[in-house]
Copies of this chain bind each other. A is one copy, B any other.
Amino acid sequence: MQSEIDHKSGWLSAEGILDARAQLPILYIEALPVRTDSHGRVLQIGLLLRAMPDGSISRSLVSGRVLHGELVRDALLRHLEKDLGAMALPVLPSSTVPIAVSEYFPDESISGLHDPRQHAVALSYLVSVKGDCAPSQASLDLAWLTPSEAISGQTASEMTGGQHKVLITLLAHVGAI
């Protein structure tokens, strides 16, 4: 019989994930990669283009689960490197206090944020990257936009699950709206 989890790594089997998703909110991290000038001002933001859980092709933030036994800051670094490549050189925030707590539900009327697979609670950050970013094989593209392009209706129409609201919240926090 197949074990549901490799307890060392904290990875769940596909079956174990399905089970947990029906029982508990799943903890995620979410990050908006940004390029900043020497004064900390956001010049550009990076959005992945990827196949989403709802079947659409959408612009999205870097995101992923926090594993059992894993620190939030380690999960943040792991997902940034997974989605942006090993040369992205993200400068992680010293504090793990997020800019937003983003609550995704299968029923989109609850919070306005929607994930058809699960109830996920994401800690949402903005992370400056200093190196070269390359979208991973899981992503189709990585686009760099100015803040004003990012808050436009055009970008809103290319994001699903309510994630454009998270984007606005992150940009508002850094004075970039």
Q: Does A70 contact B (CB under 8 A)?
A: yes
| Contacting pair A97 B98 (CB below 8 A) | yes
| Contacting pair A169 B177 (CB below 8 A) | yes
Known A-B contacts A22-B68, A99-B97; A121 and B27 likewise in contact (beta carbons under 8 Å): yes
Chain A residues packing against B (C-beta within 8 Å): 4-5, 7, 10, 12, 16, 19-20, 22-27, 34, 36, 38-42, 66-74, 77, 91-101, 103, 105, 110-111, 119, 121, 123, 126, 128, 165, 168-169, 172-175, 177
8 A-B residue contacts at CB 8 Å? Answer: A19-B19, A69-B105, A71-B103, A95-B99, A95-B173, A97-B98, A97-B100, A100-B173
